[in-house]
Structure 1
Amino acid sequence: MRNTEDAAHTIFEIYNRTAYSACVEVFSDFISAFGIRNFTILETDLGCRQRDVILAHSWDDRWRGFCRQAGHLHHDPLLAMIERDHGAFTLGEQMNRNRPSADVGHLLQRFAAFGWQDALCVPIHRGGLRYGVASLISARRIATGDKAQLTAAAFAFHQRLRCLAPNEGFRTPPAGLGAEEIDCLRLLATGLSDAKTGEMLGLGGGAVHAHIESAKQKLAAQNRAELVSLAHSLAIIA
């Protein structure tokens, strides 16, 4: 267990960082002391998983192999448990319940086969089925005191990345959106027409329209107003 002062200092450093990579480095250094190497920071809509936006991740080959084998390559296996517990939870806590679900035990068994002992899921409820989520995979069981520190740091990290990622760019295409689609979305949100957006991006109005329609399809938006609202709420654009 690290001192609570360490967690407080880490949170201060996270908010003090102005560059995406520096912020990720601070968080990664902190969680490594808890036996954690793999994490995912994302925005998700549990009612429409194609809207998943990964703000940051650290996945080693073992985790990629596990997700590929389990069919979770693009979907975090912990997300299915969020609706049962709206607060932060560990797999160990879920297993210690009076009536743990069968999928919790099954997931722990599969984790153990890959050398992991526990996981922490920190859901940040946005309303409805929308959540910000931080999930961390640990090589050892997560103690209660450690959980409190990790939860606080993960929450701060998530909130900071929501500010940094839209401006610096995403390491993983958010919801599958390409760079030009995001650029068109950003200008659409300011109220510009397709023609004016095209002038600013060096594209034809028809190309802008096609990018917007593609973005609507990828985010399952019914119209442009909903598209812009989703892009803001999912931290795709600032």
Structure 2
Amino acid sequence: MSLFDEVEQFVKSANRATRMSELEGLLTDAVEAFGFDHVALVQHVNLSAPDAAAQALQFINYPDAWRALMRSRGYLGDDPVLAACQKSAAAFLWSEVPRIIKLNARQEEILGAANACGMGEGFTVPINVPGEFLGSCSFAIRAGRTVQRERLPAAQYVGCFAFEAVRRIRLAEGAQREARPALTGRQFDCLVLAAQGRSDWHIAQLLGISRETVHQHIEAAKRRYQVASRTQLVVRALFDSQITFADVLGSAAASRGKPRAASPD
């Protein structure tokens, strides 16, 4: 099974999940499939705020020794990965953290202690949903292993999909449902082509519109979905079945040759 097939299967299963326990099982299985040993899906909240910890999303299967040490030494508030999340919109390897932020002595201590507890390299996907706490999904390997870099793009999508699935489950538990945002025809066309990894310039050439118009359509779609990045936009649209994996694969009949008929630009 290809990496793409693994991602697609995870998305389908996550979409059907109605309980956190189901999603935790799916995420645990996915971690191994993408070459990692551990995962942490969290919202980074101010734990001193009333009810903040209870309301935050959290699933962590790091080694017990490392989790116990984090609690006993109060490492969470000084976590260098969290600090890097606040500075980077893009996913990053933990070895890249010193490039993103200037580490202080406490943060260097944390990284050393994590390694001593058996934690090796990690890969973190920052997730920013407007109006909510900063979130992240981190994948990690045991000390001594090597990250399979070709699997990182797929892992990034799984992290975003998992976080979105958790949000949906939480909303359902609270008897709340988000209506699927309506996209115009041009917003849909631009979204599909962006999901295929095409640049604004290339999309403009394919659709016969200006690069700035493409940018405006993508930004409008992001506002309708209330997301901060194109990756999150694609994730939400796939979860809502607004677009399909066939669209993302970019078959000739799926999108490029047949823009969807809808409202005009």
Aligned CA distance change for structure 1 residues 98 and 165 (closer, same or farther; 3 Å): closer
Q: Which runs of 5+ in 2 are unaligned?
A: 177-265
Aligned to 2:162: 157
Q: Give the Å deviation of 1:161.
A: 0.7
Partner of 1:122, secondary structure, is strand
Aligned to 2:103: 101
Per-residue deviation, residues 150-192 of structure 1 (Å, max 9, x unmatched): 11111101101111135448xxxxxxxxxxxxxxxx89xxxxx
Identical counterparts, % of pairs: 19
CA distance in 1, matches of 2:134, 2:17: 24
| Residues matched between the structures, number | 167
Superposition pairs of residues 5-84 of structure 1, within 5 angstroms: 5-33=5-33, 34-37=35-38, 39-45=39-45, 50=49, 51-52=52-53, 53-72=56-75, 77-84=80-87
Is the 1:91–1:108 contact (alpha carbons within 8 Å) kept by the matching residues of 2? no
Letter in 2 for 1:101: L
Per-residue deviation, residues 198-228 of structure 1 (Å, max 9, x unmatched): xxxxxxxxxxxxxxxxxxxxxxxxxxxxxxx
Aligned CA distance change for structure 1 residues 57 and 94 (closer, same or farther; 3 Å): closer
Aligned to 2:153: 148
Determine which structure has greater relative contact order: mean sequence separation of CA pairs < 8 Å that are 6+ residues apart, divided by chain length: 1
Partner of 1:111, secondary structure, is helix
Residues 1:111 and 2:109 are matched in the alignment: no
Q: Give the Å deviation of 1:6.
A: 1.6
Give the structure with the larger strand fraction. Answer: 1
Per-residue deviation, residues 116-139 of structure 1 (Å, max 9, x unmatched): 111222111234894222233321
Q: Give the Å deviation of 1:75.
A: 7.7
Is the 1:64–1:73 contact (alpha carbons within 8 Å) kept by the matching residues of 2? no
Q: Give the Å deviation of 1:98.
A: 9.5
Q: Which runs of 5+ in 1 are unaligned?
A: 170-185, 188-238
Letter in 2 for 1:157: A
Letter in 2 for 1:147: L
Letter in 2 for 1:114: C
Aligned to 2:205: none
Aligned to 1:228: none
Is the 1:43–1:131 contact (alpha carbons within 8 Å) kept by the matching residues of 2? yes
TM-score (norm 1): 0.57
Aligned CA distance change for structure 1 residues 57 and 76 (closer, same or farther; 3 Å): farther
Q: Give the Å deviation of 1:4.
A: 3.0
Aligned CA distance change for structure 1 residues 105 and 146 (closer, same or farther; 3 Å): farther
RMSD across aligned C-alpha pairs, in angstroms?
3.4
Is the 2:87–2:101 contact (alpha carbons within 8 Å) kept by the matching residues of 1? no
Is the 1:118–1:137 contact (alpha carbons within 8 Å) kept by the matching residues of 2? yes
